[in-house]
Amino acid sequence: MPLNWKRVRKVAFWVLIVSFIAFFLFAYLHYLDFKKVLLTEASDRATSILGQEVHIANASISLPAAINLYDITIRNPESFSPGQLLRIRRLRLDMRLGRFLKGDFSFKNIIVYSPELTLRKNDRGRWNISDALTRLSPQKSTTRYEVDEFR
């Protein structure tokens, strides 16, 4: 029985299409898992540095080397009523990728969209800024940051 090449090409074509769809679906699902872990790690690290709960709702990476963080909230310390100290709708970090890969933090610009800062005092006269956050301001950092534009 002779081979029907037209049918073989048709079957091979559909196998290739289904393989591509399966590959991209698999890659997308892993991207979502990676993004969830990245957001959790970034929120936890910021919380440990600032001493107040930080939540980052979403993130995206765009070319060339820009990171967007969405709905960032820094909550009030535990001794205050529930609420937030700071809310940023979007934070865009345009990085220099070559310098970042070498371990330097070099930004073309940092853009903060719609920041909302709410300062409150409790009945003891303390502000809703944690002790860890206030200790950060006078410390000199050993890490060098370069930012061309901040708005």
Residue 40 has phi, psi (to 5 degrees) of -65, -45
Q: Residue 20's pLDDT band (boundaries 50, 70, 90)?
A: very high
- H/E run at residue 67: strand 66-75
What number is the average pLDDT over the span 79-93? 88
pLDDT at 132: 61
d(CA 123, CA 91): 33
pLDDT, tens digit (0-9, with 9 covering 90-100), for 105-125: 788 888 999 999 888 888 888
d(CA 146, CA 105): 6
- Quick one: CA dihedral 60, 66, 68, 69, positive or negative? positive
For residues 73 and 66, the model is more confident at: 73
For residues 89 and 104, the model is more confident at: 89
Q: Residue 12's pLDDT band (boundaries 50, 70, 90)?
A: very high
Nearest to 68 by CA among 58, 60, 76: 60
pLDDT at 140: 58
Cβ neighbours, 10 Å, residue 58:
12
For residues 70 and 124, the model is more confident at: 70
**Cβ contacts of residue 123 below 8 Å, gap of 6+?**
none
4: left (phi over 0), alpha (psi -120 to 50) or beta: beta
Q: Residue 25's pLDDT band (boundaries 50, 70, 90)?
A: very high
The chain-wide mean pLDDT, for the chain, equals 83
Cβ neighbours, 10 Å, residue 85:
24
pLDDT at 98: 78
